Amino acid sequence: MGCLLSLSNPLRQFFFPLVFFVFFSPVNGKDNLTPPSFTPINGDLYHSSGLLMEEISNLVHRHPDKFTMETIETGNQGYKAEVTVVTYCRNRKEIDDRSKFRILLSFGQHGRELITSELALRVLSVLSEEQFLPNMDPISLNSTLDKLVIKVVPMENLNGRKLVEAGELCERRNGRGVDLNRNWSVDWGKKEKDYDPYEENPGTAPFSEPETQIMRKLSISFDPHIWVNVHSGMEALFMPYDHRNTTPDGLPSQQMRRLLEELNHLHCQDRCMIGSGGGSVGYLAHGTATDYMYDVVRVPMAFTFEIYGDGTASSKDCFKMFNPIDLTTFNRVLNDWSAAFFTIFKMGPQQLQKKHSKPSTTNSEKWVSIDEYLDGYLMERRNRYGKKVEVLEFGMQEIRTYFRLFMLSSILLLFMFCSRISKSKCSRPIVAVMPI
């Protein structure tokens, strides 16, 4: 550059534009000096992941009579994850009352869907009575909430969310590139013709990811009556199934559809899509959380909600596609869908005919392994008693081992018994009966 400065004016007038073109020319048709073609995260509307979880933590500490909060950590192969769970019960002493109606809500399963975690914060704020929804009768609300225990996962995919905050605005997967909503065991690993590993990488095996391991154990130990997995990208109210284009048969399907139709009318102005995820979206999804909750955990009402989508946004403008970018729309989405959840809190038990028992399991239904039940039990005890459960956990591991040995020896004995009976029958002499 020093040599250029020593050139005469005519030469300088030629070389300076040339240097500018070489160093600052457009790349792939885009001028580096123009604003990027995507919408950045609006920091005036959205919390960072750290600030959002801090605000939730402060909310819980201000209302210890209603809330508890626990952070569950696990990991494998050098990858660690944590999931925070907030539990609401109007009378904290009744938090373990199994006669209460149990609801499990998960937000932020995909990192780029920031609006879902903001909705979690709004729902918790209304439950704390620090915020109020318009046209809501406090007396009726309190009567409804007396019967419930609600667990809220505000940000299931914290590691993926951090990647989004670092600039990867289209990232939906977790911290090592696995889509958490393809990592569950029901129809896991099947790939459609349009499979995109960036969007749908299911992992190396069902429950290979720490986040889904935590959520599986939580769902088994809590045993909810209603499950809602909250996403964004469109406006829809989905019920099972995601991996096929049909809904379940019989009364459970009718109950779910009735509730969704009511929500659509009251809070979505009848514009939300309703039906099975696989039959409504236009593609099948395999290994999803909602299908697992319905088929394996036997949750009577299992839903996936899509709370916002901008169909006019470019496919590369992910923040705008999945999240409101102006204050008016932001508040409308949070108010409408918060009200929808409180309608669920009221109508869910009614749709299930106020019976808190879950459907009985038949031989044709899928079984949950003993490992899953024991793991769920241990997680519940560990969360409640901390390190005191280590001895119990060791004992449970021993029980698992002895149980497997017992089952194996029983099968072998049964096989030997049947073999001996079979041989004894074959060794008997055949006596011919002659006619007289």
Q: Do both 118 and 207 map to the same domain?
A: yes
Considering the domain boundaries, does residue 434 fall inside one? Answer: no
Q: How far is CA 230 from CA 109, 113, 155, 171, 360, in A?
A: 8, 9, 10, 17, 27
Predicted local confidence at residue 353, as pLDDT? 66
Q: Do both 230 and 148 map to the same domain?
A: yes
Predicted local confidence at residue 309, as pLDDT? 97
pLDDT in tens, 220-236: 999 999 999 999 999 99
> What is the pTM assigned to this prediction?
0.76
Q: Do both 118 and 81 map to the same domain?
A: yes
Q: Which residue has the tokens 């299992």?
A: 302
Could you tell me the CATH number of the domain that includes residue 139?
3.40.630.10
pLDDT in tens, 41-88: 999 999 999 999 999 999 999 999 999 999 999 999 999 999 999 999
Tell me how many domains the chain contains: 3
Element (H, E) at 401: helix 390-427
Q: Do both 25 and 154 map to the same domain?
A: no
Q: Do both 350 and 409 map to the same domain?
A: no
Considering the domain boundaries, does residue 317 fall inside one? Answer: yes
Considering the domain boundaries, does residue 428 fall inside one? Answer: no
Q: Do both 390 and 269 map to the same domain?
A: no
Which residues are catalytically annotated?
306
d(CA 2, CA 416): 93
Considering the domain boundaries, does residue 343 fall inside one? Answer: yes
Q: Do both 403 and 278 map to the same domain?
A: no
Buried b (16+ CB within 10 A) or exposed e, 41-68: bbeebbbebeebbeebeebbeeeeebbb
Nearest in space to 42 (alpha carbons), one of 118, 153, 119, 97 = 118
Considering the domain boundaries, does residue 41 fall inside one? Answer: no
Considering the domain boundaries, does residue 236 fall inside one? Answer: yes
Considering the domain boundaries, does residue 406 fall inside one? Answer: yes
Considering the domain boundaries, does residue 61 fall inside one? Answer: yes
Instruction: Lay out the sheet containing 67-76: strands in order across.
Output: 67-76, 79-88, 148-153, 101-106, 226-231, 301-308, 234-239, 273-276
Q: Do both 121 and 92 map to the same domain?
A: yes
Q: Do both 112 and 237 map to the same domain?
A: yes
Query: 47 and 334 in contact (C-beta within 8 Å)?
Result: no
Q: Do both 122 and 225 map to the same domain?
A: yes
Predicted local confidence at residue 280, as pLDDT? 83
Q: Do both 22 and 76 map to the same domain?
A: no
Name residues of the chain where pLDDT drops below 70.
1-37, 353-404, 422-436
Predicted local confidence at residue 183, as pLDDT? 98
Q: Do both 22 and 54 map to the same domain?
A: no
Which residues span the domain enclosing 6? 1-34
What proportions of the chain, in percent to the nearest 5, are helix, strand and coil?
Answer: 45, 15, 40
Predicted local confidence at residue 423, as pLDDT? 60
